[in-house]
Amino acid sequence: MTWTPGNRLTLLRSGAEYFPAMLRAIDEAQRELFLESYLFRNDATGRRVAAALARAARRGVAVQVLLDGFGAGDLAAQQRRAMERAGVRLLFFRPDSFRLHFKRERLRRLHRKLVVVDGNVGFVGGINIIDDRVADLAPRYDYALQVEGPLVADMRAAAAKQWRQTCWRQIKADWSHLPRRPAPPEVVGDTNAQFVRRDNLRHRRDIEAAYVHAIQHARDEIILAHAYFLPGITLRHALLAAAKRRTRVVLLLQGRIDHALLFFATRVLYRPLLAVGVEIYEYRAGYMHAKVAVIDRIWLTVGSSNIDPFSLLTAREANVVARDTFLAGALRDDILRHIEHDAVKVEMGHTRHSVWNRMLAWVAYLMVRVILGLTGYGKKEYRE
Tens digit of pLDDT for each residue in 243-282?
999 999 999 999 998 888 888 888 889 999 999 999 999 9
Q: Specify whether 379 is catalytic.
A: no
Q: Specify whether 345 is catalytic.
A: no
Of 296, 324, 334, 342, which is the active-site residue? 296
Of 68, 111, 206, 324, which is the active-site residue? 111
What is the spatial distance between Cα 123 and Cα 272, in angstroms, rounded to a whole number? 36
Pick the more confident residue, 92 or 349: 92
Of 132, 154, 289, 324, which is the active-site residue? 289
pLDDT in tens, 300-345: 999 999 998 888 778 999 999 999 999 999 999 999 999 999 999 9
How much is the pLDDT for 215? 98
Which helix H or strand E contains 9, and what residues bound it?
A: strand 4-13
The neighbour count for residue 208, using CB atoms within 10 Å, is 22
Burial class (CB within 10 angstroms; exposed 0-12, middle 13-18, buried 19+) of 215 = buried
Mean pLDDT of 19-40: 98
Mean pLDDT of 276-305: 97
* pTM exceeds 0.85: yes
Mean pLDDT of 119-126: 98
How much is the pLDDT for 329? 98
Strand 286-288 and strand 138-141: the pairing is: parallel
Q: Which of 116, 112, 72, 125 is nearest to 94 (CA)?
A: 72
Above 70 in pLDDT, residue 155? yes
Q: Specify whether 177 is catalytic.
A: no
Of 291, 324, 334, 342, which is the active-site residue? 291
What lies within 8 Å, CB to CB, of 182 at 6+ separation is 31, 32, 118, 119, 120, 156
Burial class (CB within 10 angstroms; exposed 0-12, middle 13-18, buried 19+) of 131 = middle
Mean per-residue pLDDT over the chain, rounded = 91
What is the spatial distance between Cα 288 and Cα 257, in angstroms, rounded to a whole number? 10
Q: Above pLDDT 70, what percent of the chain? A: 90
Q: Alpha helices, DSSP H only, in the chain?
A: 14-27, 44-58, 77-86, 151-169, 206-216, 233-244, 260-266, 270-275, 309-313, 325-342, 355-375
pLDDT in tens, 50-98: 999 999 999 999 999 999 999 999 999 999 999 999 999 999 999 864 4
How much is the pLDDT for 102? 47
What lies within 8 Å, CB to CB, of 212 at 6+ separation is 234, 235, 238
Above 80 in pLDDT, residue 214? yes
Pick the more confident residue, 212 or 263: 212
Burial class (CB within 10 angstroms; exposed 0-12, middle 13-18, buried 19+) of 280 = buried
Above 60 in pLDDT, residue 99? no
How much is the pLDDT for 95? 87
Helices and strands, number each (H, E), in the chain:
11, 17
> E-assigned strands of 26-160?
32-37, 62-68, 89-93, 114-117, 121-125, 138-141, 143-148
pLDDT in tens, 171-187: 998 999 999 999 999 99
Q: Specify whether 103 is catalytic.
A: no
How much is the pLDDT for 100? 47
How much is the pLDDT for 260? 82
Of 68, 118, 142, 324, which is the active-site residue? 118
How much is the pLDDT for 189? 97
The neighbour count for residue 204, using CB atoms within 10 Å, is 14
Q: Which of 245, 361, 314 is nearest to 38 (CA)?
A: 314
